[in-house]
C-alpha cells in the first residue's frame, strides 16, 4: 500500500480543490497497480463492455483534456481527440490494443498538464471553449468540482471492477 495525503485541513480554496482532485487521481493508478494486460482489458460488466480498467483510465485522460484544454482554455480540437463526428460516442474507451502502462502514463501526463494549465488562472476564470458559446460558461471552480466528482465516480467503478477481477479491495492509508 502507498501512503497518500489528503489536502491540508486549513488550506485555501484552490489548495483544497486541486488537492482533492489530485487525491482522486492518485487512486486511479493505485486501483490499476499489479493488473495484468489481460485483466486491465477484461470486460466484467456485461451491460457496459467498455468499462474496463483500461477503458476507464483512457476515459479519464480524455476528460482531463476536454475540460481543461478544450473547454477552459479554448484550445481547438485539431483531430487529436478520439471523437469524430458520427463516430462512436465512447471512442476514448476503445483501447483494447493499448497497454495499461501507456494509458496510465498518458493519464498522469494529462493530469500534470491540467494542473500546469490552470496554475495561474483565477477560480473565477470562465471557460473559453466550444461549450461556452452554447449557454452559460462554467467557472474554473465549477470545472474543478466537476472533475473531482467525475474522477471519484470512476474510481468507484475501478474499485468494483478490480474486486470482480481479482478480489483486491481498499485503497491505502490516508494521512
CATH of the domain at 27: 1.20.120.450
The pLDDT of residue 174 = 43
- Whether 4 is in a domain gets the answer no
**Residue at grid coordinates 497518500:** 4
Q: Are 138 and 71 in contact (CB under 8 A)?
A: yes
Cell numbers given for 144: 474543478
| Residue 141: strand, helix, or coil | helix
- Whether 57 is in a domain gets the answer yes
The pLDDT of residue 55 = 97
The pLDDT of residue 85 = 83
- Whether 87 is in a domain gets the answer no
**Given a cut of 50, is residue 175 above it in pLDDT?**
no
The pLDDT of 66-92, averaged and rounded, is 90
- Whether 96 is in a domain gets the answer no
- Whether 174 is in a domain gets the answer no
How far out from the chain centre does Cα 50 lie? 16
Domain that holds residue 29: 17-77+102-166
Question: If you count them, how many residues does the chain have?
Answer: 175
pLDDT tens figures, 28-50: 999 999 999 999 999 999 999 99
**Distance from C-alpha of 7 to C-alpha of 32, rounded to nearest angstrom:** 23
The pLDDT of residue 38 = 97
Q: Give the residue from 114, 106, 128 showing the smallest Cα distance to 54.
A: 106
- Whether 94 is in a domain gets the answer no
> What residues have CB less than 8 Å from 107, skipping those under 6 apart?
25, 28, 29, 57, 58, 60, 61, 64
Decide which of 170 and 15 is more confident. Answer: 15
**Distance from C-alpha of 49 to C-alpha of 19, rounded to nearest angstrom:** 32
**Given a cut of 70, is residue 3 above it in pLDDT?**
no
Q: What is the pTM of this model?
A: 0.92
pLDDT tens figures, 88-99: 899 999 999 999
The pLDDT of residue 132 = 67
Query: With bands split at pLDDT 50, 70 and 90, how would you rate the model's confidence at 7?
Result: confident
- Whether 132 is in a domain gets the answer yes
Domain count, the chain: 1
- Whether 158 is in a domain gets the answer yes
Query: With bands split at pLDDT 50, 70 and 90, how would you rate the model's confidence at 79?
Result: confident
Cell numbers given for 170: 481498499
Render 20-43 in DSSP notation, one character per residue.
Answer: HHHHHHHHHHHHHTT--HHHHT--
35 phi/psi in degrees, rounded to 5: -70, 140
**Distance from C-alpha of 80 to C-alpha of 19, rounded to nearest angstrom:** 28
pLDDT tens figures, 129-172: 877 667 789 999 999 999 999 999 999 999 999 999 998 887 65
Amino acid at each position: 500500500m502507498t501512503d497518500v495525503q489528503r489536502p491540508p485541513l486549513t488550506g485555501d480554496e484552490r489548495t483544497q480543490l486541486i488537492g482533492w482532485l489530485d487525491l482522486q487521481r492518485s487512486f486511479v493508478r493505485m486501483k490499476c497497480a499489479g493488473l495484468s494486460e489481460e485483466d486491465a482489458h477484461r470486460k466484467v460488466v456485461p451491460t457496459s463492455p467498455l468499462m474496463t480498467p483500461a477503458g476507464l483510465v483512457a476515459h479519464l485522460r480524455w476528460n482531463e483534456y476536454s475540460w481543461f484544454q478544450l473547454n477552459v482554455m479554448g484550445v481547438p480540437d485539431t483531430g487529436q481527440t478520439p471523437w469524430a463526428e458520427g463516430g462512436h460516442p465512447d471512442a476514448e474507451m476503445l483501447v483494447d490494443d493499448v497497454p495499461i502502462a501507456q494509458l496510465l502514463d498518458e493519464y498522469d501526463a494529462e493530469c500534470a498538464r491540467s494542473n500546469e494549465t490552470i496554475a495561474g488562472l483565477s477560480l473565477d476564470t470562465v471557460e473559453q471553449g466550444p461549450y461556452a458559446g452554447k449557454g452559460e460558461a462554467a467557472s474554473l471552480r465549477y470545472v474543478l468540482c466537476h472533475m473531482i466528482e467525475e474522477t471519484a465516480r470512476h474510481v468507484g467503478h475501478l474499485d468494483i471492477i478490480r474486486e470482480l477481477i481479482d478480489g483486491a479491495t481498499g485503497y491505502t492509508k490516508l494521512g
